[in-house]
Amino acid sequence: MTKSFRSAGIYVLSLALTIFGLAIPLVAAGDTVPPGKLAVLDLDPAKTTISYSLDGWPHHTQGTFKLKRGVVEIDPSTGKMTGTITVDAASGDSGHSIRDEEMKSSVLEVDRFPEISFAPRQVLSHGDPQKAFPVKVMGLMLLHGVQHALTIDAVIKRDGNNVTIHSNFLVPFVEWGLHDPSILMFKVAKSVDIDLITDAHLSWMPPSAMSTRGTSPDSEVK
């Protein structure tokens, strides 16, 4: 089941990034939105948990990845988003050193692709911005050098300038063209489950100061 874990890790990282992007929508739901200002969410790597789970037989694989950095801007008037959320591809940890090393070198190829990122682009919808509320965000996930369009759902909680985002979703890695680790009697799910919880700080800035930091280079979108 070593191969199954590798594939799971890759997809999990990407997914995790996508979830962070969902955090942005909560800004538009704030009770005080400065006129003409863009909302900025700075994700805290120390207060972020990215977990992945891959069903399989006879083994079920679980592990974590670490957030490297994440800053996203959102225009409350249009829902448009910019910025990038980045995960450290080499941080995958399942508690099994040999399996983790194989995942990083053979699947993620961290020497060539040290980061997995998600670039949120548009808030599609959000619920009643009171306490905890749902949001749906569309963006682009960069995984192993290829971008994939991905829409994520999340639940956001805002307490003043402190924001907490929780998202759980599936990444269809086989459909995206990644290796299917299933071999004969050893079966692995075609999608990996990602669970993300992160804290972020909310601030405001004028449109002219919109950050371009962390912008992902253009790549093929699948």
Give the tokens for residue 141: 């996930």
Domain, as residue range, for 164: 2-209
DSSP state, residue 144: T
Pairing state of beta strands 56-57 and 61-74? Answer: unpaired
Does 38 map to a domain? yes
Domain assignment present for 215: no
Six-digit token string for 107: 């699947």
What are the Cα distances from residue 111, in Å, to 144, 147, 219?
11, 19, 18
**How many domains in the chain?**
1
**DSSP of 91-113, one letter per residue?**
EEE-S-HHHHHHIIIIII-TTT-
**Whole-number pLDDT of residue 47:** 97
Going by the DSSP 8-state scheme, the letter that residue 80 receives in this structure is B
Count of all residues that appear for the chain in the document: 222
What pLDDT sits at residue 12? 43
Residue 1: what pLDDT? Answer: 46
Q: Which residues of 3-39 are buried (b: 16+ CB within 10 A; e: fewer)?
A: bbbbbbbbbbbbbbbbbbbbbbbbbbbbeeeeeebbb
Instruction: Note whether residue 216 is domain-resident.
Output: no
Cα dihedral 206, 207, 213, 214 sign: positive
Contact 114, 91 (CB under 8 A): no
Residue 74's alpha-carbon distances to 1, 50, 66, 169, in angstroms, are: 41, 23, 24, 22
Q: Which residues pair with 155 in a beta bridge?
A: 134, 166
Residue 220 lies in a domain: no
pTM for this entry: 0.77
Q: Answer for the pair 51, 63: CB distance below 8 angstroms, yes or no.
A: yes
The pLDDT value recorded for residue 210 is: 59
> What is the predicted pLDDT for the residue at 98?
78
Q: What is the CATH number of the domain that holds 120?
A: 2.40.128.110
What's residue 222's pLDDT?
Answer: 59
pLDDT along the chain (222 residues), means of 10: 46 42 44 78 96 83 93 90 92 84 78 89 84 89 87 90 89 74 76 89 84 45 58
Predicted local confidence at residue 77, as pLDDT: 86
Using alpha carbons, list the distances in angstroms from residue 213 to 2, 43, 73. 36, 14, 11
Decide if 58 is inside a domain: yes
